[in-house]
Amino acid sequence: MRSPWVALVLLASTLSFAAPPSLKLWHGYRGGEEQAIEQAAKAFTAATGTQVEILAVPYDALSSKLTSAIPHEAGPDVFIFAHERLRQFHRMKIVAPSGPGLEPSKYLKPAVDALELDGKFYGYPLSIKCLALFMRDDRGLTAPTTTDALEAQLTAASNPAKNEFGLAYEAGDFYFHAPILFGFGGQLFDAQGRAQFETPAMEKSLAWVKSLQDRHLMPQEASGALVKTLFNENRTAMVISGPWFTGEIDPGVKYSIHPLPMVSETGLPMAPFLGVEAAFVSSRTTQPEAAEALAKFLAVGDATVMRVITGRQIPAELAAYENEAVAKDTMISAFRAVAERGTATPNTLEMARVWEPMKLALRAVLQGGVSPHDGGPLAGRRYRALNREAPPTTSPVPYVVVLVLGLVALVTWQSRKAKGKSFKQRYPEAGRGLAYVAPAAAGLAVLVVVPFVIGLSLSLFHHEAGEYSFVGLANFTDILTSKGYRITEPLSFYFTLVVTLLWTLANVVLHVSIGLFLAILLKEPLLKLRGVYRVLLIVPWAVPNYITAMMWKGMFHRQFGAINAILGMFGIEPVSWFAQWSTAFAANVITNTWLGFPFMMVVSLGALQSIPTDLYEAAEVDGASKWTQFRRITLPLLRPALLPAIILGSVWTFNMFNIIYLVSGGEPGGGTDILVSEAFRWAFQRNEQYGFAAAYSVLIFFVLFAWSQVTKRLSGEEQA
């Protein structure tokens, strides 16, 4: 009896073995590097017969995708990432240690060292990234070895009147500032390994960069795009950038690559951070040997040569430098020389916590809001606020008791209300009604209500590295007492709440007034081309809002944005939109107004058309002015249609994450963040503090709930 089943199982298992084995590889590469990795994966398939399914994810999204997918067994077998996150990946248990295939002596020493954690190695080093000095050959400059020499050359090469600079680099990014800090003798970590910001070297390094900018030796608010353009158009003689920059340089431009100079004052070299990209094996892979083989394959031999030649990477494998084609490549050897002076970015958790505070301080100093002296303390304060200590774990028993009692009370109250009539009498059609609702209710229960309840309860937990601990109301008390920062600082709940309310109010007022005004114009029956105008004016509504946001962000770009170009036509100086709170907030509001007025226009138009025209005619006969007609007829009759739209619009705007996140991104210093984007940051950008973020969301929920009660009363009055 049993044999057919056994045969079936056997058949099924052979079938599953018969399918060619395949491995999943995730990376964040683009362009040449992506091509190189695809070539290498093909070579692996040719050599072993194992297929490789590649997924390219934008680098900034890759980490969160890895940490959410791998624990749910939906992740890759092998992934490529920079080593800085290794400690975090290790804590979340998503990365497996390297097997005996890794021979440390075969790679550049700083590269393997970077992959070591507590005596074990993780992953296979692929390539190195670090900063170097790019110089245009046609300027006839010699590579500066000290900052004094550099400044002399910059002064000669800059021409502020013609917007020409000596040097350009992304000064607002701490990755670029770190070598300068080290050159001034700065240490990022104290003896206990804690981050430190309030040091003399920090102040000196900030002051030095600020002085370069103030003397117009380098541009303000340089983005990668600006740096590239300036270099290609010969409007800067030098650039500080990494190997990826070689792909950005126009083919006709001759250039050379040099180590960063030494700081004259200290005699210390500007030692750049060394990033090591490695192929890591996932801890959850079902094929550990094959995955390990793929990771190793990518790191050595032919694959390395492909990555160097096609991907323009600086290889970690020593043997690659012996290769004829690689040895001839001056860019590769120049970077190797630079790399030998560099220090690998520490792969500690503490390192990951430095970026956001330092970015804040750098931008604040460069934009002139804060003196170099106060930059360090500013970063220190932000650091302490972001890295909140875990609240003490408490017992969930009292909370459960309260919850159960509450539910019991609710149920008894409800059932008392139902006394008197029988169920059938009260609800004669309940069967059909429920049957119609059931499918929707089932879907909602599983995919909306359950996540909602879980989201609510998450706010009572603290989340760290994949583990939750019950902390009761501690998240709420921390938020509401503004623990760790002043009430007037952007991180405080109250500050963000005020910004959110201002944001909502400004938008709703603008949406309604512009929408209503246009609707009144368009209502005019004698107007020709009404349809055309109406169609053109609802265009913004049809554009997906993340596209709108990106588009406006581009238009507000300081150097290349259309808005500053238009202001320039009127002789107005270009505005750094995201440098001050007021202009950044205005930029957000302008974007959202553009996006939101058509909705209000359409609603108003519909409502206006439903107002009988004889009312106006009668009013005219009675001699009422246009203004009186508007106040006495239009507004009262519009109210029932406009009120729900306004309520809906206010809730949408209150939670309008995309615009804030993509346009101002919270700049300057988180000041323009609203509550939702703040919750998002706590959840996904600051050590995944889901509990804290959930507490934020619950507070958002309470605010909106209170608002809905107010509006209910408003519309209630309406109906009465």
Partner 1 sequence: MSARTMPRWKMFALHAGLSLTCAVTLYPVLWVVKLALSPTQTLSMSANPFPEAITLDHFRDVLGSTDSQGRWLFGRQLLSSLVVSGATTLVGLSLAVTAAYSLSRFRFPGKQSGMQLLLVTQMFPATLMMVPLYSILQWLGLLDSLGGLVLVYATSSLPFCVWMLKGYFDTIPRELEEAAIMDGATPGQVFWKVVLPLARPALAVTALFSFMQAWNEFILAATLLNDATRFTLPVALQRYVGEYKTEWGHFAAGALIISAPVMALFFALQKFLVGGLTAGAVKG
11-40 residues in contact with partner 1 (CB under 8 A) are 24, 30, 38
With CB under 8 A as the contact rule, the residue among 200, 214, 327, 436 that binds partner 1 is: 436
Stretch touching partner 1 by CB under 8 A, among 179-187, 212-220, 390-398, 528-536 = 528-536
Cis peptide bond N-terminal to 668, omega within 30: yes
Pairing status of strand 132-136 against strand 236-241: antiparallel
Residue 166 phi, psi (nearest 5): -85, -40
Show contacts with partner 1 in window 150-169 (CB under 8 A).
none
What is the rounded distance in angstroms from the CA atom of residue 36 to the CA atom of residue 32?
Answer: 6
With CB under 8 A as the contact rule, the residue among 440, 571, 710, 716 that binds partner 1 is: 440
What is the rounded distance in angstroms from the CA atom of residue 691 to the CA atom of residue 504?
Answer: 26
Closest approach of partner 1 to the CB of residue 540, in Å:
6
573 binds partner 1, rule: CB under 8 A: no
322 binds partner 1, rule: CB under 8 A: no
369 binds partner 1, rule: CB under 8 A: no
Pick 88 or 677: Cβ nearer partner 1: 677
Residues that bind partner 1 (rule: CB under 8 A) add up to a total of 130
Cis peptide bond N-terminal to 179, omega within 30: no
CA distances to 460, 471, 473, 628 from 392, in Å: 12, 6, 11, 63
Q: Is the dihedral of CA 271, 137, 172, 60 positive or negative?
A: negative
Show contacts with partner 1 in window 661-690 (CB under 8 A).
676, 679-680, 683-684, 690
With CB under 8 A as the contact rule, the residue among 543, 572, 635, 714 that binds partner 1 is: 543
With CB under 8 A as the contact rule, the residue among 458, 510, 584, 587 that binds partner 1 is: 458
560 binds partner 1, rule: CB under 8 A: yes
Closest approach of partner 1 to the CB of residue 156, in Å:
26
Closest approach of partner 1 to the CB of residue 56, in Å:
7
Q: In what helix (H) or strand (E) does residue 462 lie, and over which residues does it extend?
A: strand 461-464
Pick 211 or 613: Cβ nearer partner 1: 613
Q: Is 435 exposed, middle or buried (0-12, 13-18, 19+ CB in 10 A)?
A: exposed
407 binds partner 1, rule: CB under 8 A: no
What is the rounded distance in angstroms from the CA atom of residue 155 to the CA atom of residue 237?
Answer: 11
Pick 146 or 223: Cβ nearer partner 1: 223
Stretch touching partner 1 by CB under 8 A, among 119-127, 345-353, 477-485, 549-557 = 549-557
Closest approach of partner 1 to the CB of residue 68, in Å:
6
Pick 487 or 565: Cβ nearer partner 1: 565
Place of tokens 């600086």: 314
What is the rounded distance in angstroms from the CA atom of residue 426 to the CA atom of residue 423?
Answer: 5
Cβ 281 vs Cβ 31: under 8 Å: no
441 binds partner 1, rule: CB under 8 A: yes
Residue 236 phi, psi (nearest 5): -145, 145
Show contacts with partner 1 in window 99-138 (CB under 8 A).
none
Residue 274 phi, psi (nearest 5): -110, 120
Closest approach of partner 1 to the CB of residue 448, in Å:
5
Show contacts with partner 1 in window 75-104 (CB under 8 A).
75-76
> Tokens in use for 510?
């603008």
Closest approach of partner 1 to the CB of residue 41, in Å:
7
Which H, E and C letters describe 136-159, residue by residue? EHHHCCCCCCEHHHHHHHHHHHCE
Closest approach of partner 1 to the CB of residue 648, in Å:
8
What is the rounded distance in angstroms from the CA atom of residue 410 to the CA atom of residue 421?
Answer: 20
Place of tokens 């007022």: 509
Closest approach of partner 1 to the CB of residue 681, in Å:
10
Place of tokens 């900063």: 131
Show contacts with partner 1 in window 586-615 (CB under 8 A).
594, 602-603, 605-607, 609-610, 613
402 binds partner 1, rule: CB under 8 A: no
Q: Where are the alpha helices (DSSP H) in 31-165?
A: 31-48, 59-69, 86-91, 109-113, 147-157
Closest approach of partner 1 to the CB of residue 457, in Å:
9
What is the rounded distance in angstroms from the CA atom of residue 307 to the CA atom of residue 29?
Answer: 11
710 binds partner 1, rule: CB under 8 A: no
Name the residue type at position 373: H
With CB under 8 A as the contact rule, the residue among 23, 41, 274, 460 that binds partner 1 is: 41
Closest approach of partner 1 to the CB of residue 338, in Å:
19
Question: Cβ neighbours of residue 112 under 8 Å, at least 6 residues apart?
Answer: 102, 104, 121, 125, 316
With CB under 8 A as the contact rule, the residue among 536, 572, 635, 714 that binds partner 1 is: 536
Nearest to 107 by CA among 279, 250, 294, 258: 279
Q: Where are the alpha helices (DSSP H) in 114-199?
A: 147-157, 174-183
411 binds partner 1, rule: CB under 8 A: no
Stretch touching partner 1 by CB under 8 A, among 116-124, 322-330, 492-500, 544-552 = 544-552
Stretch touching partner 1 by CB under 8 A, among 270-278, 332-340, 623-631, 696-704 = 696-704
Show contacts with partner 1 in window 468-527 (CB under 8 A).
518, 521-522, 524, 526-527
Q: What mask, x for binding partner 1 by CB under 8 A, covers residues 224 to 243?
A: xx--xx--------------
Pick 189 or 244: Cβ nearer partner 1: 244
Closest approach of partner 1 to the CB of residue 3, in Å:
31
Q: In what helix (H) or strand (E) does residue 409 lie, and over which residues does it extend?
A: helix 397-417
Closest approach of partner 1 to the CB of residue 345, in Å:
16
Q: Is the dihedral of CA 549, 552, 554, 557 positive or negative?
A: negative
With CB under 8 A as the contact rule, the residue among 15, 191, 542, 710 that binds partner 1 is: 542
| DSSP secondary structure letter of residue 164 | B
Show contacts with partner 1 in window 264-303 (CB under 8 A).
none
Pick 10 or 430: Cβ nearer partner 1: 430
Closest approach of partner 1 to the CB of residue 11, in Å:
23
Cβ 259 vs Cβ 341: under 8 Å: yes
Q: If you compute the radius of gyration of the chain from its CA atoms, what whole number of angstroms results?
A: 31
Closest approach of partner 1 to the CB of residue 340, in Å:
25
What is residue 256's three-state secondary structure?
Answer: strand
* CA 475 to mean position of chain CA atoms: 23
60 binds partner 1, rule: CB under 8 A: yes
What is the rounded distance in angstroms from the CA atom of residue 197 to the CA atom of residue 181?
Answer: 11
Stretch touching partner 1 by CB under 8 A, among 10-18, 147-155, 176-184, 703-711 = 703-711
What is the rounded distance in angstroms from the CA atom of residue 57 to the CA atom of residue 44?
Answer: 21
467 binds partner 1, rule: CB under 8 A: no
Closest approach of partner 1 to the CB of residue 66, in Å:
11
What is residue 221's three-state secondary structure?
Answer: coil
